[in-house]
Amino acid sequence: MVFWGRKGGVATCALIVIFSATEANAASSEAIEARLRALEAEIAKLRREARDAKADARQAAHAVQRSAAQADAPPSPPPVFVSFKNGLFVESADKAYNFKIGGRMQFDGGGTTQPLNGWSNQAGVRQVRLEVEGKAAQYWFYKLQYDFAGSQYGTPFNAPVQGGIRDFYLGVQHPLLALPFTKDPAFIHIGSYFEPFTLEFTTSSRFRDFIERAMAVEAIGASRHLGAAIGAYGDNWTAKGGVFTTSFEDLNTNPVVGSPPLVGIPAKAGWFPTGGGQYFEFTGRMTYAPIMTQHDLLHVGVSGRFHQPNSATGLSDDRVLRVGNRIRSEAYMLNQGLLGTPDLSCGSVILPGWTSAAAAHCVNNVESFGVELSAAHGPFSLQAEYLGQQVNRNPTRVALARLAGAFAPGGASQYFSGFYVYGQWYLTGEERAAAYDVTNKLGANFNQVPIKNPVSAGGFGAIGLAARYSALNLNSGPYSGSSLYNMLAYTTLIAPNPAAASYIANAGVVGGRQQNVTLGLNWYPENGFHFQFNWVHVLQASAPFNDYALYATGVPARQGPYFNGAHPDLFEARAQVYW
């Protein structure tokens, strides 16, 4: 801008130029700062992008490394199902393999009003068992069960049962065994397990409605044996049969070594065969349920058993050849044994004119059978069985054994029998029909009754009341009971007559008779817990005449005539946990 005046204008013009330069510098600084901020933001963005790029590169490298490692590593195992609900159960995703670790513990105790030949009171451990069972390769099944408690008594002479092995088997159920009329393929069962004989003997002690089995079942039932069987089942029927031999529960698992296979060999022969043959038997059971629903059940069944003793005696085959000697008045813990036959095989005797002591082999074979019935309607159920046993003997060998001084009563054959019938009512509404199972490898049977209101859910669990009547007759001959002892006392003490006494003592087999009535209480608070209380009243006890202590004293000592007319009351309780 031009100002007139020399000094004033110049001065004025210079002032304007200075102010203009200052304003320009300020504007330039702001622009530079703005540009710098933009550059800093751009640099920060580039840095972030660089860091992200490096992170992506590292992740990509790690992914490549993992992919390479996975390519070299074996494939991951398939998932498995694991449950602790009832023991430890593990199963593969395809259900081709599984196994379960389980067990049980039973604590018993009780007392009696008349101890007789048992204990007035006793408490102890009945069973402590661990087991492993499962399936392999879809078609194979197996089980191993070991009892750490074992049987403390209940055998002749109170000898313990050998070993603790109970169930020990393997089997196969393959499509090649499929039959047109079966629900699933048939199966082959090999090892130690319950023979297919009777309903109650094959029922697990975890789910029995009474603490002990009925007397007839214990006396004539087959229990566990080593063997092989084939079985099948349909929607409402089962069938199983096989061949069996020795048992882990036998008093002695082998016959006497060196005993000849016949009654003896004449001394003039100069030789005799050594060794002894084990017993064997054929056993089978069939069942059918014409009514089988969730609430109603009608079950019928029949069992048969043929037993060949071979070289076995009452020492190695006591459950068949010393019938009833293991019975303990349906209260095992109190050890009150009121029944039992002598050794029907005549045992080992020395025969005149023969080489040495030998098994007399008085028994040719034994034939047993059982019929069974079970019914249920809602919370009420019934069950009954009748069992019979025919012992076929060789009268010539019996006579020879007597000549040798053996205690060998009876003649050509004896017949023993027994039965039981019981009913149960669940106060809490549980239904036994819902526990019926035809797929059990032991044959149709009952599992855990479904509990409607367990204690853990605020209920009372399952509570049932039961009552049973049972009877067993082990007498076979013209004399028994007090009349036998009266006649023997007369012919040996009052009017001694050895011939008459011998005839009376050997006229028949006197294993005794007994009738019991039992009232029971069952309580399942939860699955896996079972509490029981039983009151057993002996209605009749007719004393046996056997050789229980014959080897020690020459006369029977464990059972005696003073038991006739005794009516003891036995009380027993059990606390049980199983998984």
Strand partners, 466: 424, 520
DSSP 487-536: HHHIIIIIS--HHHHHHHHHSSEEEEEEEEEEEEEEEESSTTEEEEEEEE
Structure tokens at 58: 């590292």
Give the 3-state DSSP-derived string for 245-281, with helices as H, strands as E and coil as C.
CCCCCCCCCCCCCCCCCCCCCEHHHCCCCCCCCCCEE
- CA–CA distances in Å: residue 61 to residues 54, 57, 158, 167: 10, 6, 77, 58
* SS3 call for 38: helix
Closest C-alpha to 215, from 119, 372, 328: 328
State how far the Cα of 170 lies from the Cα of 168, in Å rounded to an integer.
Answer: 7
pTM reported for the whole predicted model: 0.82
Q: Per-residue pLDDT for the chain (579 aa), expressed as one digit of tens each? A: 444 444 444 444 444 444 444 555 556 677 777 777 777 777 878 788 878 877 777 777 677 666 665 666 666 777 889 988 888 999 999 999 999 999 999 999 999 999 988 899 999 999 999 999 999 999 999 999 999 986 555 555 555 455 589 999 999 999 999 998 888 999 999 999 999 999 999 999 999 999 999 999 999 999 999 999 999 999 999 999 999 999 988 877 776 655 444 444 454 555 444 456 789 999 999 999 999 999 999 999 999 999 999 888 888 898 999 999 889 999 999 999 899 999 999 876 655 555 445 567 889 999 999 999 999 999 999 999 999 999 999 998 888 888 877 788 998 999 999 999 999 999 999 999 999 999 999 999 999 999 999 999 999 999 999 999 999 999 998 888 788 888 888 888 898 888 888 888 888 999 999 999 999 999 999 999 999 999 999 999 998 888 764 444 444 445 556 677 889 999 999 999 999
pLDDT at 26: 55
CATH code 2.40.160.10 for 85-449: yes
Instruction: Strands of 21-164 (E only): list them.
Output: 80-83, 88-92, 98-112, 121-136, 140-147
Cα angle value 247/240/230 (rounded, 5°): 80
Strand partners, 464: 426, 522
pLDDT at 550: 47
Residues contacting residue 29 through CB under 8 Å, at least 6 positions apart: none
State how far the Cα of 417 lies from the Cα of 220, in Å rounded to an integer.
Answer: 8
Give φ, ψ of 576 to 5 degrees.
-135, 140
Q: C-alpha 514: how far from its chain's center? A: 27
Taking 3-state DSSP, the helix, strand and coil percentages for the chain, each rounded to the nearest 5, stand at 25, 35, 40
Structure tokens at 450: 């479904």
- CA–CA distances in Å: residue 190 to residues 143, 244, 434: 11, 10, 29
Domain boundaries, the chain: 1-30, 85-449
Structure tokens at 236: 């409402």
pLDDT at 46: 78
State how far the Cα of 278 lies from the Cα of 350, in Å rounded to an integer.
Answer: 21
Residues contacting residue 306 through CB under 8 Å, at least 6 positions apart: 281, 282, 283, 365, 366, 367
* SS3 call for 475: strand
Structure tokens at 351: 């025969």
Contact yes or no for 146/166 (Cβ under 8 A): yes
State how far the Cα of 46 lies from the Cα of 26, in Å rounded to an integer.
Answer: 30
pLDDT at 7: 47
Residues contacting residue 149 through CB under 8 Å, at least 6 positions apart: 125, 126, 127, 128, 129, 164
Cα angle value 366/340/166 (rounded, 5°): 70
